[in-house]
Structure 1
Amino acid sequence: MDIGVFLPTGQAQWGPAGDPRDLIAFACRAEELGFSSLFVNDSLLTARIEPLTMLAAVAPVTHRVRLGTGALLPVLRRPVQAAQALASVDLLSGGRLTVAVGAGFPGRFGQPLHELSQVPWERRFARLDETVALWRALWAGATAFHGEFHSFDDLPPATAPAQPGGPPIWLGGATPAALARTGRLYDGWLPYPPDPADYATGLKAVRAAAADAGRDPEGLTPALFVNVRIDRDAATARRAMNAYTRSNYGLPLDETERIQAFALGTPDDVAATLRRYTEAGARHVVARLGAMQLEDQRDQLEQLAALTLPASP
């Protein structure tokens, strides 16, 4: 079992008096505690450190921990330049990058991003798959690429990642179409279903799609994106997480938890919820800490380490 955390790259998470450069020390402490991975979010709708910039800053000061995006939105970037940036982060980290990608979803957190990027909302999933195929072709040394959305006759030499073939690419999403595409095309799955039973059902569908495509179903990484808040009681944890979801999404907790996975309450409560997801098949849990100030983020980091990483300092 791997346990990772999201770096609090959103400006609201540092607090008005915070210094985003303190995120470097936060990342180093997470590695020191024994976490398996450090992930970053991607958005243009909230003020935050750009994710690949954050990972490039963290790469040289960490040594073991994997670095990941959850989820990177390729629509926000030109595909050839994005391939170069991802390969560069992989090189700077010595081959520790994992790229989880997404296509956005209807409503305030999806369509506006396409409008800002001047990319059509329609056929966004096909565009995402083709972008990933282009990245992989570039990393393999291709000199030409012809698809529905991207066509190049004379590609320049691409920056080669440290990992042969490029970093593993996971897909975020749990619709039936996303499950099938994960199994056929991707290296891992990073959803956030509110019910562990839905995780188990989704993972079964991903593995079936992989087998149908002639791939090894066990070769795909089953990961989980989960929001975590540890407190002295459930009510206190819910109040803190409600403040977080209102700041991050503009939505109260009772609405957000219909969409995303949450583990809230006492250490025993959180451990029990995480256990239900691991019993459903999750093998790489990435926790987003529900805290509004960097000091509180650090406290949650220490508490999660004590709960899930018994050998941590």
Structure 2
Amino acid sequence: MDIGVLLPTGTTLWGAGEGPRELLALGRRAERSGFSSLFVNDSLTGPRVEALTALAALAPVTDNVTLGTAALLPFLRRPVQAAQSLASLDLLSGGRLVVTVGAGFPGRFGRPLYALSQVPWERRFARLDETVALWRALWDGAPSFHGEFFHADELPSTTRPFRTAHPPVWLGGATPAALERAGRLYDGWLPYPPDPADYASGLAAVHGAAAGAGRDRGGITPALFVSVRIDDDAAGGRRVLDDYARAAYGLPLTELEKIQAVVTGTAAHVLDRLLEYAAAGARHLVVRLAAPDLRSQSEQLDRLAALIPAGGAPTATGAAPASGRQ
């Protein structure tokens, strides 16, 4: 199993006197602590370091960790330019990029961002799939592309990724339609269901869709996005998580945990909960450290690292299987 962390690129989650240098230092610390990936999220909501810019800064200061998005919103960017940026990141990082994509969802993270980007909200999922198909065509050096939204009789000769097979593209989302699309079209699946049982049933649906499309399910990475806070004081941990949820989403914790995987409590409780998701089939955890500033994020990083020897699967015995970074 691979365990990674989501770095807080939103500047509202930086403490007084903290800045980009401390953010990059947190990424380097995570790699030294044995975590196998670093992810960033993407939005126009709130002041933040742009996702691909953050990964470009992390590439030269890290050596082996996967660098990923969780999730990139392609509708915010022109598709050909985005393909070049992603290929450049893969090239500069030596083939360490993973691109999770999403189409946004209703509320302040959906329609308003589409309006700012001058992209129609309607048919957003079909547009997302076609954007990824266009990226792959550009990375493969295809001469032309003809789809519902994008037409080009002559595609430009653009930057090629480091890997001939190009960066893996994962899909975020857990609706029935998203499960089918993940199995049919994508290289990985990164949802955040609150219940491990829902993860297991969703993964079975992804595998079923892959089989129906004649794909090997082994080529689809089953990942999980989960917010974690380790705290010996369970009530205190929930208070911190509530503050975090309100700062990040404008939602109280009681509402956020209805729609997202959120785990808080003692180290033993957090470990047990993560093991439930592992038993449900998750093989790459992307952990958001629920803490209000970079200093306390670093403290949470250390506490989580103690549960995950050498960046492998969390185990009650402290023994970890070999990591297989995707």
Q: What root-mean-square deviation, in Å, do the aligned CA atoms of Structure 1 and Structure 2 show?
A: 1.1
User: Larger deviation: 14-23 or 179-188?
Assistant: 14-23
1:175 aligned residue: 175
Instruction: Tell me the secondary structure at the aligned position of residue 210 of structure 1.
Output: helix
State the alpha-carbon separation in 1 of the partners of residues 25 and 294 from structure 2: 11
State the alpha-carbon separation in 1 of the partners of residues 15 and 117 from structure 2: 28
| 1:1-313 equivalence runs, <5 A | 1-309=1-309
For residues 47-99 of structure 1, give each alpha carbon's deviation from its aligned partner in whole angstroms, at most 9, with x where no partner exists.
11101000001101111100000000000000000000000000110000000
State the alpha-carbon separation in 2 of the partners of residues 44 and 310 from structure 1: 35
Task: Check whether the contact 1:236–1:265 (CA below 8 A) recurs between aligned residues.
Answer: no
Percent identity among equivalent residues?
67
Deviation at 1:169, TM superposition (A): 0.3
State the alpha-carbon separation in 1 of the partners of residues 25 and 154 from structure 2: 43
User: Larger deviation: 178-187 or 303-312?
Assistant: 303-312
Task: Check whether the contact 1:71–1:101 (CA below 8 A) recurs between aligned residues.
Answer: yes
Which residue type is aligned with residue 202 of structure 1? G
For residues 267-289 of structure 1, give each alpha carbon's deviation from its aligned partner in whole angstroms, at most 9, with x where no partner exists.
01110110110010000001001
Deviation at 1:310, TM superposition (A): 5.6
State the alpha-carbon separation in 1 of the partners of residues 12 and 305 from structure 2: 23
Deviation at 1:311, TM superposition (A): 7.5
Task: Check whether the contact 2:33–2:310 (CA below 8 A) recurs between aligned residues.
Answer: no
State the alpha-carbon separation in 1 of the partners of residues 173 and 104 from structure 2: 9
For residues 291-311 of structure 1, give each alpha carbon's deviation from its aligned partner in whole angstroms, at most 9, with x where no partner exists.
111100110111111112267
Which residue type is aligned with residue 150 of structure 2? H
State the alpha-carbon separation in 1 of the partners of residues 137 and 222 from structure 2: 25
For residues 215-236 of structure 1, give each alpha carbon's deviation from its aligned partner in whole angstroms, at most 9, with x where no partner exists.
0012210000000001112111
Deviation at 1:165, TM superposition (A): 2.6
Task: Check whether the contact 1:14–1:20 (CA below 8 A) recurs between aligned residues.
Answer: no
User: Following superposition, which runs of at least 4 residues in structure 1 exceed 3 angstroms of deviation?
Assistant: none
Task: Check whether the contact 1:73–1:101 (CA below 8 A) recurs between aligned residues.
Answer: yes
Residues 311, 186 of structure 1: alpha-carbon distance in 2 compared, 3 angstrom cutoff? closer
Instruction: Tell me the secondary structure at the aligned position of residue 271 of structure 1.
Output: helix
State the alpha-carbon separation in 2 of the partners of residues 168 and 310 from structure 1: 24
State the alpha-carbon separation in 1 of the partners of residues 53 and 84 from structure 2: 13
Deviation at 1:21, TM superposition (A): 2.2
State the alpha-carbon separation in 1 of the partners of residues 298 and 111 from structure 2: 33
State the alpha-carbon separation in 2 of the partners of residues 286 and 117 from structure 1: 28
User: Larger deviation: 196-205 or 163-172?
Assistant: 163-172
Deviation at 1:15, TM superposition (A): 2.0
Unaligned runs of 5+ in 2: 313-326
Instruction: Tell me the secondary structure at the aligned position of residue 278 of structure 2.
Output: helix
User: Larger deviation: 251-260 or 234-243?
Assistant: 234-243
Instruction: Tell me the secondary structure at the aligned position of residue 191 of structure 2.
Output: coil
Instruction: Tell me the secondary structure at the aligned position of residue 125 of structure 2.
Output: helix
Provide the TM-score with structure 2 as the length reference.
0.94
Instruction: Tell me the secondary structure at the aligned position of residue 248 of structure 1.
Output: helix
Task: Check whether the contact 1:70–1:101 (CA below 8 A) recurs between aligned residues.
Answer: yes
Provide the TM-score with structure 1 as the length reference.
0.98
State the alpha-carbon separation in 2 of the partners of residues 267 and 33 from structure 1: 17
Task: Check whether the contact 1:35–1:309 (CA below 8 A) recurs between aligned residues.
Answer: no
Which residue type is aligned with residue 39 of structure 2? F
How many residues align? The count is: 312
